Amino acid sequence: MTTPPPVALTIAGSDCSSGAGIQADLKTFQHFRVHGLTAITCIVSETANIVRAVSPVPVEIVADQVALMLDSFPVAAAKTGMLFSAAHVRAVVQLIRRHPGIQWVVDPVMIASTGASLLEEDAVAAYREHLLPLATVITPNLPEAETLLGRAIPDLAAVEPAAVALAEKFGTAVLLKGGHLEDDECLDLLAEPDGSVHYFTAQRLSVPGSHGTGCTLSAAIAARLALGDALPVAVGHAKAYLTATLRESYSFSAPSGEIIHALNQGTTPLL
């Protein structure tokens, strides 16, 4: 009998264009040869260019999906993506507390790359108070970090103090993603609760869009943690994988002539 691979769970929304959300997470897990489980929180009608509709899955159904997966499989690592509401956040938190041995990657998905809101207003407080302190690592981009901190992160010099402040505030590791900064290189900075700081840089690539990059990065971190990597090593592998998918990314032309971007996850060599 074949030895089963490590298991990772994603709790996130469904993106029908397959560039982000559950679909991107599963492609990423498959790339790293990790068995992926899912719990769908929302059904989203979207492309890289527009979020047209968001329909949340009832909280009790989300909770039942997560509970069944955690009770049925040896989940080594898990990630959360789009959770939508405070009620969804609280339901996930209750289940996390029942499974303390799992490493959790929390991607605090708040705003789509199109600018559309993906989170109800009361959910931010639930993230701060209940979910983030339970995470192994959180992976905010700059706008999300600004929301969590309550202050601006205007430039490169402010990134490290912001990441360290978030790590201290929530007692967890923080991977602050600097992709929104205007710079030739993309800097992600990992601040750990013990005060150590790690820098990860990659050349900025010119691509039609960046739809799903945050989902892909956090899923790759979860996959590498499931495989047994230490957190800085997992982040390094995840960053390299994301850069490779962007380099190999492609675009579709819709019948209207609109250019729709998709990440080419799952087709690059294993890292």
pLDDT digits (tens, 9 = 90+) for 131-172: 999 999 999 999 899 989 999 998 888 999 999 999 999 999
Spatial separation of the C-alpha atoms in residues 119 and 109, rounded to whole Å:
7
Q: What is the pTM of this model?
A: 0.92
In this prediction, residue 1 has a pLDDT band, given cuts at 50, 70 and 90, of confident
The confidence score (pLDDT) of residue 269 equals 43
The confidence score (pLDDT) of residue 79 equals 98
200-244 per-position pLDDT tens digit: 987 777 666 667 899 999 999 999 999 999 999 999 999 999 988
Residue 179 has pLDDT above 70, yes or no: no
Domains in the chain with CATH codes: 7-249 (3.40.1190.20)
Spatial separation of the C-alpha atoms in residues 114 and 89, rounded to whole Å:
23
75-131 per-position pLDDT tens digit: 999 999 999 899 999 999 999 999 999 999 999 987 655 555 667 778 889 999 999
The confidence score (pLDDT) of residue 154 equals 87
